[in-house]
Structure 1
C-alpha cells in the first residue's frame, strides 16, 4: 500500500488540495501498478511562519 506524505505551505483552496491528491494518487497508481484504492495520500499544510528558506520564513520571503 503506497503512502505519500506531502507538505505544502498553507493558503491553497480545498479544491486545489483535492486536485493534488487525485493527481498524485493516479500517478502513483499508474507508476507502481498499484490499485488506486490502495494508494494513500496525506497533505499537511504548514503555516508560513513555520517554513523557512535561507533563514527567512516563507512569510517574509521576497521582502
Structure 2
C-alpha cells in the first residue's frame, strides 16, 4: 500500500493541489504494482515563514529585490549568543539564486 507525502509551501489554489494529487496518484499507479484504491497521497502545506533553507525563510527570500542586491542575514549571524562559526556567514545565502527547492517550481 503506497503512501506518498508531499510537503509544499502554502499558496497554491485548491485546484492546483487537486491536480497534483491526481498526477501523483497516476504516476504511482503507472509505476508500482498496486490497486488504485490502495494509493494514499497526503499534502502538507507549510507557511513561508516556517520553511528555511540556509537559515533564510521563503518569506525572507521573496522579500529581496529582484536583483538580489540586499542579502538577508541568517538568524545566527544576527544573534550574538550564537557560536562564532555560525555568525561568520560566507556565502550569499540570501540571494534567490542560491535556492533550488521544490517550492520554487510551479506545477504545470
TM above 0.5: yes
1:38 equivalenced with 2:38 (yes/no): yes
**Residue 11 of structure 2: aligned partner:** 11
Q: Distance in 2 between matches of 1:36 and 1:30?
A: 10
Give the Cα separation in 2 of the matches to 1:58 and 1:8.
12
**For the residues of structure 1 that align with 2:30 and 2:38, how far apart are their CA atoms?**
12
User: C-alpha separation between the residues in 2 aligned to 1:34 and 1:49?
Assistant: 37
The structure with the largest strand share of the pair is 1
User: Normalized against structure 1, the TM-score is what?
Assistant: 0.94
Q: Which has more helix, going by share of residues?
A: 1
Any stretches of 5+ residues in structure 2 without a counterpart?
A: 65-108
Runs ≥4 residues deviating over 6 A: none
What is the match of residue 50 of structure 2? 50
Counterpart Cα distance in 1 of 2:12 and 2:60: 18
Could you give the per-residue CA deviations for residues 10-61 of structure 1, whole angstroms, max 9, x where no partner exists? 0000000000010000101110121111100000000000000111110011
Gaps of 5+ in 1: none
